[in-house]
A and B are shown apart, each in its own frame.
Chain A
């Protein structure tokens, strides 16, 4: 019998996180505390859920237009203008997608030819590399460094560029490091992007969750960048709506047009119920976001303080809901640390290597948990770390 599979998919490695996930589920131990999630612990605010329920009661169970509900696209454009100073046309430059994930996939597919190089800074979210490969592009990894607070420097970027480079993926605020890009760094990156005639796919799904005075700045707001950037955002993280599967992409009309084409053939439209709920989120949900952001910020400070007390080095992350402490001083690899921590203290964290080789020596700790849970988790972590620091 012939091989039913295509060569391309077989060459893509399974997600590094999978192995660890299996380890945790195999243990099947109710005592295990996991700080391994990438989604808010909050329920979707009730007024947003209620709007979803209401839309079902009204029988709004039809397809929407391919681009998504007009009302939602308009609300999104007002939201991104208000919060990030990004002004997009709701009809020509905005597309509602099934989560930010779909937007990443179709943006890449819309923009690359076989052999084009796509620059992917790592550690970062797991889907950029496989999506680039599926689009027949060549992923080129830029290894971000702890000494730069895991931000992308102009020098690192310029060194990775070849005459085949077409796209830079910009994953900030970053999962797993919590790193953000400041205005100065963005300016530098923007200049290089323009100089080498590149395009940017900016994954800004955590834009609403930053913890510095300046807040989030989008690369698209830099001079000359709007026409070179597809901005990806969504409802999952900011509004605690992961299960609703709803995101959006904003960018130049020529790119959005082609993305819509793929979306139309592959997806048709994003879920209608979610879209109606999302209109409520855009129009009346920002107070909730601020409440959640404030809670995350407190937990972030609590974790940083805990890691400092136990003697684990950790740079201050200013975005998303992760801290990324360094475990190199314990003489353990990320994998080993996570495995032993799980077995000894029944505490699960994600090895940094799940997000790229440059994550070696780090672990991702999510603070999308209640303070009580985090307190217990840090007690366990302290026991684990102290025992090893003493021996070492």
Chain B
């Protein structure tokens, strides 16, 4: 049941416990318990809204993906370095990657300068960081499985046998 609950609220976290219970044909109490358990175990880590900031008027927010190469520390590997980076509030996501670089850092800033400053002042100056490569996002098409500006041009015949 847990997986089914997750696949429902991953798409729509606004549904209440009773709605989810109806959809799954389960008892409300059982659904409530399962959600509480998953919250406690950090399976469910939070409830977010998918925002298309670009659709707001006067929006100047910029997002960037930063490739970071680091020297792992003896004994604790990458975790300590990742922690120093993810603790910055402006950092949205941090992933440890295989391949050409080590940490993938996603950041959102109010302006280009904002992001540039973060990279040059904070990120690059960290002891274990060898190099960074910053890629600015130009346009977001799809986020968390949701197409942000869906093209709907299909005509469905309203009444069919």
Measured CB to CB, the residues of A under 8 A from B are 15, 17, 20-21, 24-25, 32, 34, 36-39, 41, 125-127, 175, 294, 298-299, 301-302, 305, 348, 350, 354-355, 371
**Is B161 part of the contact surface with A, judged by Cβ < 8 Å?**
yes
- Tell me the B136-161 residues at the A interface (CB within 8 Å): 156-161
Q: In the assembled complex, which residues on chain B have CB atoms less than 8 Å from the CB atom of A298?
A: 8, 23-24
B159 touches A20 (CB 8 A): yes
**Closest CB-CB distance, B69 to chain A, in whole Å?**
35
B23 touches A301 (CB 8 A): yes
A39 touches B161 (CB 8 A): no
**Is B22 part of the contact surface with A, judged by Cβ < 8 Å?**
yes
Closest to B7 in A: A294
Closest to A19 in B: B159
A37 touches B23 (CB 8 A): no
A305 CA / B24 CA spacing, docked (Å): 11
**Is B25 part of the contact surface with A, judged by Cβ < 8 Å?**
yes
Closest to A126 in B: B161
**Closest CB-CB distance, A355 to chain B, in whole Å?**
8
Closest to B15 in A: A371
B25 touches A36 (CB 8 A): no
Q: In the assembled complex, which residues on chain A have CB atoms less than 8 Å from the CB atom of B22?
A: 301-302, 305
Q: In the assembled complex, which residues on chain A have CB atoms less than 8 Å from the CB atom of B160?
A: 17, 36-39
Which of A15, A21, A126 touches B158 (beta carbons < 8 Å)? A21
A301 touches B156 (CB 8 A): no
**8 closest pairs, A vs B, by CB?**
A34-B158, A298-B23, A36-B159, A21-B159, A38-B160, A126-B161, A305-B22, A37-B160
A24 CA / B158 CA spacing, docked (Å): 8
Q: In the assembled complex, which residues on chain B have CB atoms less than 8 Å from the CB atom of A301?
A: 22-25
Q: Could you pull out 8 A-B pairs where Cβ atoms are within 8 angstroms? A: A20-B159, A36-B158, A37-B156, A37-B159, A37-B160, A305-B22, A348-B159, A371-B23
Q: In the assembled complex, which residues on chain B have CB atoms less than 8 Å from the CB atom of A127?
A: 161
Closest to A364 in B: B161
Which of B23, B156, B159 touches A17 (beta carbons < 8 Å)? B159
A294 CA / B23 CA spacing, docked (Å): 10
Between B12, B160, B161, the greatest number of chain A beta carbons within 10 A of the residue's beta carbon is seen for B161
Between A17, A20, A37, A348, the greatest number of chain B beta carbons within 10 A of the residue's beta carbon is seen for A37
Q: In the assembled complex, which residues on chain B have CB atoms less than 8 Å from the CB atom of A21?
A: 157-159
Q: In the assembled complex, which residues on chain B have CB atoms less than 8 Å from the CB atom of A17?
A: 159-161
Closest to A127 in B: B161
**Closest CB-CB distance, B78 to chain A, in whole Å?**
34
Closest to B8 in A: A298
Q: In the assembled complex, which residues on chain A have CB atoms less than 8 Å from the CB atom of B159?
A: 17, 20-21, 24, 34, 36-37, 348, 350
Q: In the assembled complex, which residues on chain A have CB atoms less than 8 Å from the CB atom of B24?
A: 298, 301
**Closest CB-CB distance, B30 to chain A, in whole Å?**
15
B161 touches A38 (CB 8 A): yes
A204 CA / B161 CA spacing, docked (Å): 16
A302 touches B23 (CB 8 A): yes
A125 CA / B24 CA spacing, docked (Å): 29
Which of A41, A299, A354 touches B161 (beta carbons < 8 Å)? A354
Q: In the assembled complex, which residues on chain B have CB atoms less than 8 Å from the CB atom of A37?
A: 156-160
**Closest CB-CB distance, B13 to chain A, in whole Å?**
14
Q: In the assembled complex, which residues on chain B have CB atoms less than 8 Å from the CB atom of A32?
A: 158
Q: In the assembled complex, which residues on chain B have CB atoms less than 8 Å from the CB atom of A350?
A: 159
Closest to B160 in A: A38
- Tell me the B1-38 residues at the A interface (CB within 8 Å): 4, 8, 12, 22-25
**Closest CB-CB distance, B3 to chain A, in whole Å?**
11
A37 CA / B156 CA spacing, docked (Å): 8
Between B22, B159, B160, B161, the greatest number of chain A beta carbons within 10 A of the residue's beta carbon is seen for B159
A127 CA / B156 CA spacing, docked (Å): 21
A38 CA / B156 CA spacing, docked (Å): 10
Q: In the assembled complex, which residues on chain A have CB atoms less than 8 Å from the CB atom of B8?
A: 298
A16 CA / B22 CA spacing, docked (Å): 34
